Amino acid sequence: MSEVIYRRSGRIARIMLNRPEVFNAIDDEIPGALSALVPAANADPEVHVIVLSGAGKAFSAGYDLSFYAEGDGASAHGKRADQPIDHAENGHQSSD
């Protein structure tokens, strides 16, 4: 079963997160799939609208913390969830 489903119907491209058992929580596969599908839909001259949705009861619960905490994958910053993130290193500024 694919974690992200792409369908085009006429001028509408639909991209659906497909992990309803964990409220479409994001793991390592989803960001890469979205990074490929959104530009592909955007480049399709037949597509005029891109709809992003989630299967089941929720759009997305955010990052799958149990997936990252158990050491199965890297976080969005390339580190496990239990490793500190230096936001200045990533170009973010503190709002203090």
Domain boundaries, the chain: 4-69
d(CA 2, CA 14): 14
**Residue pair 15/44 in contact by the 8 Å Cβ criterion:** no
- What pLDDT is stored for residue 84 in this prediction? 54
User: Between 2 and 77, where is the model more confident?
Assistant: 2
Among the ranges given (11-20, 22-31, 86-95), the one the predictor scored with the smallest mean pLDDT: 86-95
Q: Which residues pair with 25 in a beta bridge?
A: none
Q: Closest Cα partner for 4 from 25, 64, 69, 81?
A: 25
pTM over cut 0.75: no
pLDDT of 92 strictly over 60: no
CATH class (in words) of the domain with range 4-69: alpha beta
d(CA 24, CA 57): 9
Q: What would the pLDDT profile of 40-86 be if each residue is shown by its tens digit?
A: 999 999 999 999 999 999 999 999 988 777 765 555 555 544 455 55
